[in-house]
Amino acid sequence: MSGPVPNPGILDIAPYTPGKSPVQKPGQKVFKLSANETPHGPSPRAREAYAEAISHLEDYPEGTSRVLREAIGRAYGLDPNRIICGAGSDEILNLLAHTYLKDGDEAISTTHGFLVYPIATMANGAKNIVAPETNFTADVDAILARVTPRTKLVWLANPNNPTGTYIPFDEVKRLRAGLPAHAVLVLDAAYSDFVSRNDYEIGIELVATTDNTVMTHTFSKIHGLAALRIGWMFGPSNIVDAVNRIRGPFNVSTPAMLAAVAAIEDTAHIRMSREHNEHWRNWLTEEIGKLGLTVTPSVTNFVLIHFPTTKGKTSADADAFLTERGLVLRALNNYGLPHALRMTIGTEEANRLVVDGLRDFMARP
């Protein structure tokens, strides 16, 4: 067969599969609970900033996202010069892989880690090494046992998607201390805004005190700007300098940048979203547990629901049953979780309808 041939390993990559979007039937209300999107939408201030920005769509964005880096710096107490913004944190993860991985290198992720990690790793010719988890949670000892001289990146989503679990800051520090100097620890904090545990830390301290740790974050979750594709990274100056050398000069649009500034400054909207999430996460965990289903303890804006393997009671059966009612959850076969569904915490109406639907599902003969 003639024609262009992809680089070695590209066709071995399983493409990323997003959560399914709902197909609405006439007269049926549909709730999309498959993509961890906020039920509240973005801050009204972010909507206004976005609307105002469209009057200058002929102008290129400011190439370094300066106003947004400064806003993030104010919100977190960080040096804006050590922040990079990107088209979602996905772009930044891929930039890190492109900067530090090559053929023959290795990068470590956990069994149920974010699917972008192996994609970014393999796309740059490196080998994806999988460290097993314990109770659907990253295991520091398992990660350290797989470190070799070829290990250049360690991916750690903390909290993790799709399991909803986290490891305490002391464990993250133990992981960092056990890694060689040449390995970059990437702390993906996409869901950190939903965590209310005293032993959790987003990763800023480690980034500030080491030369080989970075922390990434996103505006897609609690800030509700998923459609605008905007994320950021805080890192040591040496890594920021290296990544900026391959980052596209206009990778964040002006409307996205200004909406994100307004979003991060609307602390009341963030607080409301966090309080709603914590209340309904606790409620869903308790109510679903009463139905005889296991829910992995979550600190995020979603819950992982485990189903039996009995015919008629499987996760696939439940998915079909709920979808018929307009309740769209996320099947997790591509995450190695064929007997579980991930449910985004939604509005009160959506949350109650899912519990009612699961109750009816489990009561079927």
173-230 pLDDT per residue, tens = 999 999 999 999 999 999 999 999 999 999 999 999 999 999 999 999 999 999 999 9
Q: Cβ of 46: how many Cβ atoms within 10 Å?
A: 26
Q: Which domain holds residue 28?
A: 10-41+268-363
Report if residue 313 sits inside a domain: yes
Strand partners, 186: 155, 214
Query: Are the beta carbons of 267 and 75 closer than 8 angstroms?
Result: no
Report if residue 2 sits inside a domain: no
**Looking at residue 5, what is its pLDDT?**
72
249-270 residue pLDDT tens:
999 999 999 999 999 999 999 9
Q: Averaged over 5-11, what is the pLDDT?
A: 77
**Considering only CA atoms, which of 32, 46, 40, 107 is closest in space to residue 260?**
46
Tell me what percent of the residues of the chain surpass a pLDDT of 90. Answer: 91
Q: Is 344 helix (H, G, I), strand (E, B) or coil?
A: strand
Same domain? 253 vs 133: yes
Q: Averaged over 57-74, what is the pLDDT?
A: 96
Q: Residue 327 pLDDT > 60, yes or no? A: yes
User: CA 250 to CA 321: how far, in whole Å?
Assistant: 45
Same domain? 75 vs 32: no
Pairing of strands 151-157, 184-188: parallel
Last residue of a domain, one of 246, 265, 284: 265
Query: Predicted confidence band at 6 (pLDDT cuts at 50, 70, 90)?
Result: confident
User: CA 56 to CA 228: how far, in whole Å?
Assistant: 17
* Cβ neighbours of residue 281 closer than 8 Å, sequence gap 6 or more: 194, 298, 300, 301, 303, 345
Same domain? 186 vs 248: yes
Same domain? 258 vs 314: no
Query: Predicted confidence band at 232 (pLDDT cuts at 50, 70, 90)?
Result: very high
Query: Predicted confidence band at 2 (pLDDT cuts at 50, 70, 90)?
Result: confident
**Looking at residue 30, what is its pLDDT?**
93
Same domain? 97 vs 189: yes
Q: Residue 153 pLDDT > 90, yes or no? A: yes
Same domain? 151 vs 173: yes
Query: Predicted confidence band at 18 (pLDDT cuts at 50, 70, 90)?
Result: confident
Burial class (CB in 10 A: 0-12, 13-18, 19+), 123: middle
Same domain? 233 vs 315: no
Q: Averaged over 54-67, what is the pLDDT?
A: 95
Structure-token pair, residue 336: 């190695």
Strand partners, 129: 108
Same domain? 278 vs 253: no
Q: Residue 13 pLDDT > 90, yes or no? A: no
**Looking at residue 11, what is its pLDDT?**
77
CATH number, position 216: 3.40.640.10
Same domain? 96 vs 244: yes
Report if residue 1 sits inside a domain: no
Same domain? 161 vs 246: yes
What single letter denotes the amino acid at residue 252? V
Task: Please count the structural domains in the chain.
Answer: 2
Look up the pTM and report it. Answer: 0.93
Task: Name the least confident of 1-10, 48-57, 117-126, 206-215.
Answer: 1-10
